[in-house]
Structure 1
Amino acid sequence: MITTANITMQFGSEPLFENISAKFGNGNRYGLIGANGCGKSTLMKILSGKLTPTAGNVSLAPGTK
């Protein structure tokens, strides 16, 4: 399980997104839909650990790959 708590990502003075909290369970499939430039790829990079959010945190359950 991946859990996010109050994820915010900001580039410059404007936030790309603010205060995203979600739980992603094992064995489920999720879709991420949005307009170009709204932060979909950035959110995926944060969830994978390739980027660090400006605020908030991402936690993985033990044994999560």
Structure 2
Amino acid sequence: MITCANITMQFDSKPLFENISVKFGEGRRYGLIGANGCGKSTFMKILNGSLKPTSGNISIDRN
């Protein structure tokens, strides 16, 4: 399971998204949709570890 708690991302003190909290269960499929420029790719980069969020925590439970 991947747990995101209060993920916030800012660029030049301008928030892209704030306080995103979500849990992704093992063996499940998820989709991420939204308007252009809303932060979908940025959020995926945060999830895969290639970008660090401004604040918040991500934990991965590897049973």
- Does TM-score exceed 0.5, indicating one fold? yes
Smaller-chain TM-score range?
over 0.9
Give the alignment's Cα RMSD to 1 decimal: 0.8
Say how many residue pairs are matched.
Answer: 63
Alignment correspondent of 1:9: 9
CA distance in structure 2 between the aligned counterparts of 1:33 and 1:10, rounded to whole angstroms: 20
Unaligned runs of 5+ in 2: none
Q: TM-score, normalised by structure 2?
A: 0.95
Aligned to 2:30: 30
Q: TM-score, normalised by structure 1?
A: 0.92
Which stretches of structure 1, 4 residues or longer, exceed 2 Å deviation after superposition?
A: none
Write the distance in 2 (CA, Å) between the matches of 1:5 and 1:33.
19
- Structure 1 residues 12-47: Cα deviation after superposition (integer angstroms, max 9, x where no partner): 121000000000001111010000100000000000
